[in-house]
Amino acid sequence: MGHSVETVQQEVEQTATMPVLTPYKMGKFNLSYRMVMPPMTRQRSWNNIPQPHAAIYYSHRAANGGLIISEATVISEAGRGYKDTPGIWSKEQVEAWKPIVDAVHAKGGIFFCQIWHVGRASTYEYQPNGQPPISSTSNVLKPQVQANSEEPAKFSPPRRLATEEIPQVVNEYRLAARNAMEAGKFLSPFNNFYARIHGAHGYLLDQFMKDHINDRTDQYGGSLENRCRFALEVVEAVANEIRADRVGLRLSPYATYLDSGDSDPTALGVYMAESLNKYDILYCHMVEPRMKLSEESFETTESLLPMRKAFKGTFIVAGGYDKEDGNKAVAENRTDLVSFGRLFLSNPDLPKRFELNAPLTKHNRSTYCEPDPVVGYTDYPFLENTA
Ligand SMILES: Cc1cc2nc3c(=O)[nH]c(=O)nc-3n(C[C@H](O)[C@H](O)[C@H](O)COP(=O)(O)O)c2cc1C
């Protein structure tokens, strides 16, 4: 669909102050706009090694001063639960990330690595020596209906982590963050691949935070403070390793994904937001209450405002945002930044499309995790005639 020069010009003038397109200073990072590409698992990293096609995919979506958060990236062999997701525990993986991070930096993009451990959302086949996956509990995750398959995903019974084992896992997060920094130093020692901790969606850290899962009686279970202890120890360790102003955390207090419900998600979200202030981390990325599953959104009166008010760093929201309500959220100061997941997935030049009020390409759910280096991945079109 072509736009004439006049209409484009008019639209640019009309939308020049569109809130999500205004610049924002996030710590030491100068963002050109308030639109963020959130983490999206794409399962195209064969045998957990990031591949060259990821450099094309991310560089298509990178822009000067644009913030991108990588797909969830596994911190250890035991942290795996899905086929062909990237890792960042080995030298080979760090080397494989380098050209990808460099491709984002070459466009002036700011890139964070989402460091991830799935905990009990795994099976024996992904675990070293076929061992049970680890978790806060020994209760098995019941089979989950999958977006792209008739078959529900099945999981193996986990092993409850012993209290004294927890520091080792904290250390794996710390090493993963260090590896990410190493992967970012390819050409410029100043441009890096920062760490963003995955504390959402029913994975390991969430398995400790949420009281529907955590049934421990040690100092990592029971009270809210105890359940949040592990996640905050990870935040502290990663911040000590790479500096707090390079660390972000994602949380989804309201989500029930992978049976991760909580009896008081607002108290949990506010407690985490307040606790994070002590560590002075760069940002907190929260998933809206309207997204309980990764795909479906619905109306709710619950809101992230109490967490927005409590957290002193940069606040990012996620979950079902489009141009209109993203702009509204920024205009009403309900957030600093807005992430657009599926819209970025299918529109590599999304900020430009917003700016020009251009039509958007619809995402194709059936190819989200297609094991193909191109299809549904690097073949989403750019706008034409907008030079
Ligand atoms: C294909 C796909 C993969 C995703 N993978 C991740 C992931 O690896 N880590 C994560 O925290 N969220 C993941 N999400 C959730 C997104 O980051 C985002 O929160 C969600 O899509 C809602 O935002 P949206 O409505 O703008 O798409 C994924 C979503 C999709 C559609």
Average pLDDT over residues 169-180: 98
SS3 state at 70: strand
Q: Which residues line ligand 1 (CB under 6 A)?
A: 38-41, 71-72, 114, 198, 200-201, 250, 287, 291, 294, 318-321, 340-342, 368
Query: And the tokens for 201?
Result: 């969606």
Query: And the tokens for 75?
Result: 């911190």
Q: Which amino acid is at 56?
A: I
**Which of 34, 41, 322 is the pocket-test mutation for ligand 1 (most atoms within 8 Å of CB)?**
41
Query: Given this model, what pLDDT does residue 2 score?
Result: 47
Query: Given this model, what pLDDT does residue 291 score?
Result: 74
Sign, Cα dihedral of 244, 26, 340, 182: negative
Q: Which of 196, 233, 278 is nearest to 26 (CA)?
A: 196
CA of 327 to the centre of ligand 1 (A): 20
The DSSP symbol for 87 reads B
Q: Does the pLDDT value for residue 13 go beyond 60? A: no
The protein residue with its alpha carbon nearest to ligand 1, atom 21, reads: 341
Q: Does the pLDDT value for residue 113 go beyond 70? A: yes
The DSSP-derived string for 5-20 is: HHHHHHHHHHTTT-GG
The DSSP-derived string for 286-352 is: EE-TTBSSSS-B---S--SHHHHHH--SEEEEESS--HHHHHHHHHTTS-SEEE-HHHHHH-TTHHH
Q: Would you say 377 and 370 are in contact if contact means Cβ atoms under 8 Å apart?
A: yes
| Burial of 106: CB neighbours in 10 Å, binned 0-12, 13-18, 19+ | middle
Query: Given this model, what pLDDT does residue 387 score?
Result: 47
Bridge partners of 287, per DSSP, are 318
SS3 state at 98: helix
Active site residue 203: yes
The protein residue with its alpha carbon nearest to ligand 1, atom 28, reads: 40
3-state SS string for 102-154 = HHHHHCCCEEEEEEECCCCCCCHHHCHHHCCCEECCCCCCCCEEECCEEEEEC
Query: Given this model, what pLDDT does residue 302 score?
Result: 87
SS3 state at 76: coil
**Which of 294, 340, 368 is the pocket-test mutation for ligand 1 (most atoms within 8 Å of CB)?**
294
Bridge partners of 198, per DSSP, are 250
Q: Would you say 255 and 202 are in contact if contact means Cβ atoms under 8 Å apart?
A: yes
Bridge partners of 159, per DSSP, are 134
Q: What is the pLDDT of residues 135-166, one digit of tens each?
A: 999 999 999 988 777 889 999 999 999 999 99
Q: What is the pLDDT of residues 346-362, one digit of tens each?
A: 999 999 999 999 999 99
Query: Given this model, what pLDDT does residue 385 score?
Result: 52
Atom of ligand 1 nearest to the CA of 38: 17
Query: And the tokens for 46?
Result: 């064969």
Query: And the tokens for 103?
Result: 């491709």
Query: Given this model, what pLDDT does residue 190 score?
Result: 67
Torsion angle of C-alpha atoms 69, 186, 56, 20, degrees rounded to 10: 40
Average pLDDT, the chain: 93
Q: What is the pLDDT of residues 71-103, one digit of tens each?
A: 999 999 999 999 999 999 999 999 999 999 999
Query: And the tokens for 165?
Result: 């084992």
Atom of ligand 1 nearest to the CA of 339: 26
Instruction: Enter the pTM of the model.
Output: 0.94
Query: And the tokens for 220?
Result: 């990592």
Percent of the chain clearing pLDDT 70 (strictly above): 93
CA of 40 to the centre of ligand 1 (A): 5
More confident residue, 14 or 33: 33
Q: Does the pLDDT value for residue 324 go beyond 90? A: yes
The protein residue with its alpha carbon nearest to ligand 1, atom 11, reads: 39
Atom of ligand 1 nearest to the CA of 291: 22
Q: How far apart are the first and last CA of the chain?
A: 14
Q: For the chain, list the domains and their CATH numbers.
A: 19-350 (3.20.20.70)
pLDDT band at 386; cut points 50, 70, 90: very low
Q: What is the pLDDT of residues 268-294, one digit of tens each?
A: 999 999 999 999 999 999 999 987 666
Of the residues 57, 203, 254, 368, only one is catalytic, namely: 203
pLDDT band at 248; cut points 50, 70, 90: very high
Quick one: which H or E segment has residue 3?
none
Query: Given this model, what pLDDT does residue 5 score?
Result: 53
